[in-house]
Every structure is written in structure tokens, then in C-alpha cells.
Amino acid sequence: MLAAMSLRIALLGLLEAVGPASGYDLAKKFEHSLNHVWQAGHTQIYPELLKMAADGLVAIESEGARGRKIYAITPEGTRELHTWLVEHPPTVTVRNEVALQAFLLPLLARDEAIAVVERIRDGFAARSVALQCYTEGGVGSYAAKLGLSQVSAGLAWAEETLAELRR
């Protein structure tokens, strides 16, 4: 068992939370409700599901139309998921282009800096709208509330910084 394997955990969590699903379904979840939590495309998801099946964490429940494969979590998968959730101290790996631009803001002329912060602000605003949908109940509402509060904080920072730069 390796250190990270968060993609595995995300997949196991989705299967546990919403029931059996295909790789395609799971990829859709990553695009939408999981978008502000963990990102992964189908090219990463399909091979990972195959590996997880080989490791006994998921099982192919059925194969439907158009080659659609439905995966279900196994008891072993549930165990692994539960262990990770309870025991794994989450690692904070920040790799944030927005923060990087904020960091380097002093290197820019005033007008340029203002334009950059405006773009950042608009990005936060868009994400804020996108997150609203998920805060009301359902799986992921805790994460959506966390995301929304952090995005709102970012939005407030952008407004403050703009005011400061314009002074």
C-alpha cells in the first residue's frame, strides 16, 4: 500500500456513496461534483479501475450496452476506504497557479497587476457560482461548503487587493 493513492480513494468513495457505476459515470462525477476536490480524466480513471479490480477493491458487476462496464465496490474496497478516511493524516500539497501569480504580483507594474488580479477575481467568482449548486444536501455538500467558503475568502482578497492597488 503506497503513500498517496488518492485517486483510488476518490473512486472507492464515489462507488460507496452513489453505488455501482461505470468508468464513464465516474469521470462525469470528477468533472462536476468532485471538480473542486480532485481532478482526473477518463484516461487516468479507466486504467486505475482495472488495477483496482485486479487488487480486489472493486468488481465488474455487469457489462451493459456499448461495452459499458459497471463497477461495484467490494468489502475489501470498503475496508480500504474506511481505513484511509479514519487513519490517513491528509497531506497538504499546494500547487496553485493563482497563488503563484499573487506571490509574484510585486514584480509587475501597477496596471498589469490590477489586470492580473481582476482576472483572478473573475475566476473566483465563476467558481463560487459553480459551487453553490452542491452546498444543499447530497454527497459532497460538506466539501462544497468548504470550497465555497475558501473561494469566497479568495474573492474578498481579490477585492481588497484591487482597492489597495488602485489607491
Partner DNA sequence: GAGTGACGTGTAACTTCTTACATGTCAACT
Partner DNA sequence: AGTTGACATGTAAGAAGTTACACGTCACTC
Residues that bind DNA (CB under 7 A): 2-7, 22-25, 39-44, 46-47, 49-50, 64-69, 93, 95
State the minimum distance, in angstroms, from the CB of residue 76 to a second copy.
16
Considering only 1, 43, 66, 97, the residue that binds a second copy (CB under 8 A) is: 97
Task: Give strand pairing partners of 62.
Answer: 70
Q: Choose between 20 and 123: whose C-beta lies nearer to a second copy.
A: 123
- Check residue 136 for interaction with a second copy (CB under 8 A): no
Residue 46 touches which of a second copy, DNA, none (Cβ within 5-8 Å per kind): DNA
- Check residue 132 for interaction with a second copy (CB under 8 A): no
* 151 C-beta neighbours (distance < 10 Å), count: 20
Q: Hey, what's the cell of 78? A: 470498503
What are the angstrom distances between the C-alpha of 18 and each of 14, 23, 41, 138, 145? 6, 13, 19, 10, 19
Residues 49-68 close enough to bind a second copy by CB under 8 A:
none
Distance CA 150, CA 156 (A): 10
Shortest CA distance to 23 belongs to which of 51, 1, 48? 48
- Cα of first residue to Cα of last residue in the chain, in angstroms, is 54
Contact 128, 148 (CB under 8 A): yes
- Residue ranges that bind a second copy, judged by CB under 8 A: 6, 9-10, 13, 16-17, 34-39, 81-82, 85-86, 88-108, 112, 115-116, 119-120, 123, 127, 139-140, 142-143, 145-147, 149-150, 152-154, 156-157, 161
